[in-house]
Amino acid sequence: MADNVLEVKHIFKAYQGVQALRDVSLSVGRGEVHCLVGENGSGKSTLIKVIGGVVAPDRGEIVIGGRAHARLQAIEAIREGIQIIYQDLSLYPNLSVSENISLNQMIEKGVRLTTRKKMQALAAKGLEEIGETIDLDERVENLSIARKQIVAITRALTQGAKLIIMDEPTTAITRGEVEHLFSVISGLKARGISIVFVSHKLSEVFEIAESVTVLRDGNKVGDYPAAELDDAKLTFLMTGQSFTSSPYRFDETRRGEPPLLEVRGLTKTGQFTDISFSLWPGEILGIVGLVGSGRTEVALTLFGLNSRDAGTILMDGKPVDVKSPEEAAKLGIAYLPEDRLNQGLFVARAIGDNIVVTILKSLLSRLRLIDRPKRREVENRWIERLKIKTPTAAAAAFGLSGGNQQRVVLAKWLATEPRVFILDGPTVGIDISSKSNIHEIIRNLAEHGMAIVMISDEIPEVLRNCNRILVMRKGRIEREIRNVHEMTEERLFDVVTARRPEEVQ
């Protein structure tokens, strides 16, 4: 017991009647890497905040280094060596690396005067301890997210961290950077520092954690040694459901028919070069590539939101000139954008408004006025068809969960009866059960003859749902993968990140 850096015992916490945590206990040993997993709303964030002293629990106690606290203040948690690195990292973007690393501890210690030299010495020492080198005078905003994380970790260490909690550290960094982060974490572990790693990416959980605590709906499901878990088992523990998935099969004989969409030599200087592919009805074509590979830019060009310098787009074999989303919609091309909250959804507006915005013309009466009964009928039909959880179409979209919001965006485009549907990150920020539901919707659409393009960061998602995959890198199509069922996640990762260039060709 004395070995445990942190023990959380029987924590209860309710927000306005909603029980966020119910009798949750957690213990983290010295030098242990502990993973905390759970879906959205399972109570992960609340638990972290309780440990950090940001949120006071209703009941229960927190034991740090043998000392029990019923109510912990944030500053006490820090003094006890608990450091939380939130997803936004809480760095000062306009300050230098050395200032960022040293500022917090000076504030904590009440240092009022300092010199640049002292700060640099502190920062340099901290970075050296974890074997990293970053230009101390560089402004933090100019660093990549992965480098910023290193700065945040160093800052935590120089404040005497014994336990570092990282909230979703891998969501915004590349595969290679994840591995680097993991090696840093191993280094910390060797020094006896404990890590609590919050993640919902299953593969990473197995890669790094020794023990896993699963939360579901505010309850603790259990503690498990990572070695005893696998993908399916963990998914079941998190959701209470099991999901079977088989790769999507496309009837290859249909390739005899002419393609629905054909792209030839599409080029835009600085964005993408010589993009050519064809798409048949009933296909789910995956496009993978790192951020900046040009995948979204190509999609925007097909949707009329991005111009092109060369190349042709053909629908049904006829060249088309898509100059605006309006024209794209008329041609039967729909696009579900990457950024749901800023591009896809009128968050402040009613669900119904969001659904009918693309098809207003079809709702007009003979007097060219919007026909209310017709409108309600369309709204309710889509809410029912896509199982959007809401008491009424008049409820604002901001109250919905991520999965339901995404279904509203899907509904808004499906209402236009598109023939080609481009989905850019269809399940970003959506929890597992909603995710599989959205995948089901997409596969169902393809089975009924819609041509789907699925752009995604998540390799497993693409592998499971696409019958063909294009890998993009630096604005070019690097490779087309036709036999998706023979591909493994690891190999596709390598192709995407170009880690084994000899395999690419």
Q: Which is nearer to another protein, 171 or 267 (CB)?
A: 171
Nearest to 199 by CA among 7, 27, 44, 83: 44
Q: Which is nearer to another protein, 72 or 333 (CB)?
A: 333
Q: How far is the CB of 408 from another protein (least distance, A)?
A: 12
Nearest to 120 by CA among 72, 154, 162: 154
Q: 196: Cβ–Cβ under 8 A, 6 or more apart, which residues?
A: 28, 34, 35, 36, 48, 51, 163, 164, 165, 166
Q: How far is the CB of 365 from another protein (least distance, A)?
A: 9
Q: How far is the CB of 167 from another protein (least distance, A)?
A: 8
Measured from the Cβ of residue 1, the count of other Cβ atoms closer than 10 Å reads 8
Residue at token pair 């629908």: 315
**Residues lying near another protein in the complex (CB under 8 A):** 40-42, 44-45, 87, 168, 171, 200, 305, 324-326, 328-329, 335, 337, 341-350, 353, 357-358, 360-361, 364, 368-370, 394, 396, 398-399, 401-402, 412, 416, 429
Q: Which is nearer to another protein, 1 or 348 (CB)?
A: 348
- N-to-C CA span, the chain: 55
Measured from the Cβ of residue 11, the count of other Cβ atoms closer than 10 Å reads 25
Per-position DSSP letters for 452-486, written without gaps between them: EEEE-S-HHHHHHH-SEEEEEETTEEEEEE--GGG
DSSP 139: B
Q: How far is the CB of 78 from another protein (least distance, A)?
A: 20
Exposed / middle / buried, residue 366 (Cβ in 10 Å: 0-12, 13-18, 19+): exposed
DSSP 96: B
Q: How far is the CB of 359 from another protein (least distance, A)?
A: 10
Per-position DSSP letters for 171-203, written without gaps between them: TTS-HHHHHHHHHHHHHHHHTT-EEEEE---HH
CA 301 to each of CA 321, 403, 478, 483: distance values in angstroms, whole numbers, following the listed order: 10, 27, 19, 27
Q: How far is the CB of 416 from another protein (least distance, A)?
A: 8
Q: Are strands 451-455 and 284-288 parallel, antiparallel or unpaired?
A: parallel
Q: How far is the CB of 342 from another protein (least distance, A)?
A: 6
Q: Which is nearer to another protein, 37 or 484 (CB)?
A: 37
Q: Which is nearer to another protein, 70 or 357 (CB)?
A: 357
Q: Which is nearer to another protein, 216 or 412 (CB)?
A: 412
Q: Which is nearer to another protein, 58 or 371 (CB)?
A: 371
Q: How far is the CB of 504 from another protein (least distance, A)?
A: 33
Q: Which is nearer to another protein, 305 or 504 (CB)?
A: 305
